[in-house]
Amino acid sequence: MEEVKLPQSQPPVIILVRPQLGENIGKAARAMLNFGLVEMRLVTPRDGWPNPQAGPAASGADIVLEQARVYESVADAGADCSQIYAATVRKRGVTKPVVTPEEAAREIHADTTGRAAFLFGPERSGLETDDVAIARKIVTVPINPEFGSLNLAQAVILMAYEWSKGVTLAQPPETELPPVAPQEELDGMIGQLEEMLDGAGYFFPPDRTPATKRTLRTLLTKPGWSSQEIRTLRGVLSTLARPRDR
């Protein structure tokens, strides 16, 4: 089926605010590229930029690191973005709407004109109140209240994953299950089995036979076997029907 071509939203920008370890920047890049995000921005990374630890951790997502740009402030990094989401748990004294990654993704896809960004704080401490102030909304991953321990790359991957679900080309491969065999092929197999069972005295007592046959038919119809599968099963039955030496 041909899908209607709709205007697509731009992929969101990932802004890492004062990231500490180059390794985590690399992992975040890898997480992003898995789901089609390529634009990373860094606000005053602790160990400068470029960082030699980032590349190996990116596992091939080098393009994200090569294009990453460094900014002096969160406001600069998000200057061209119309919708900024601060990835954090809710902050004391900050009254902003809180959305899930799923809701954020839906909002981003609904806006085909502006640019969106996700802000992530330093690994150890997270975003400061002043960083969050830049954002329109807070995005929080609903997490086990007794064990909340998402690292930076994991938080990034969940946002990227949710966003990617709304992109038309991120659909899963269509399942290519073989077509279900025509009814007559199934009937042929059922007939073969019933004949074997009849010879072996399975249908007893006689007044239960119709119900028993119905039960067998029901459970053999359930799978929706293909022609090939039915051929295989008929081969199995033929083997079992062969005279044996005991």
Instruction: List interacting residues with its own copies (CB under 8 A).
Output: 30-31, 33-36, 59-61, 90, 95-100, 102, 140-145, 147-151, 153-154, 157-158, 161, 164-165, 169-173, 175-178, 193, 196-197, 199-202, 215-216, 219, 222-225, 229, 232-233, 235-236, 239-244, 246
Find the shortest distance in angstroms from Cβ 89 to its own copies: 9
Find the shortest distance in angstroms from Cβ 226 to its own copies: 8
Find the shortest distance in angstroms from Cβ 17 to its own copies: 22
Decide: 117 and 137 in contact? Cβ < 8 Å.
no
Q: Between helices 152-165 and 101-110, what is the axis angle to 10°?
A: 50
Q: Where would I find the beta strands (DSSP E) of the chain?
A: 13-17, 40-43, 69-71, 83-87, 98-99, 116-120, 137-139
Of the two residues 6 and 169, which places its CB atom closer to its own copies in the complex? 169
Q: How far is CA 109 from the centre of its chain?
A: 17
Of the two residues 49 and 161, which places its CB atom closer to its own copies in the complex? 161
Torsion over CA of 163, 166, 167 and 173, rounded to 10 degrees? Answer: 110
Of the two residues 125 and 144, which places its CB atom closer to its own copies in the complex? 144
Find the shortest distance in angstroms from Cβ 111 to its own copies: 16
Of the two residues 35 and 43, which places its CB atom closer to its own copies in the complex? 35
98 contacts: CB under 8 Å, gap ≥ 6: 90, 137, 138, 139, 140
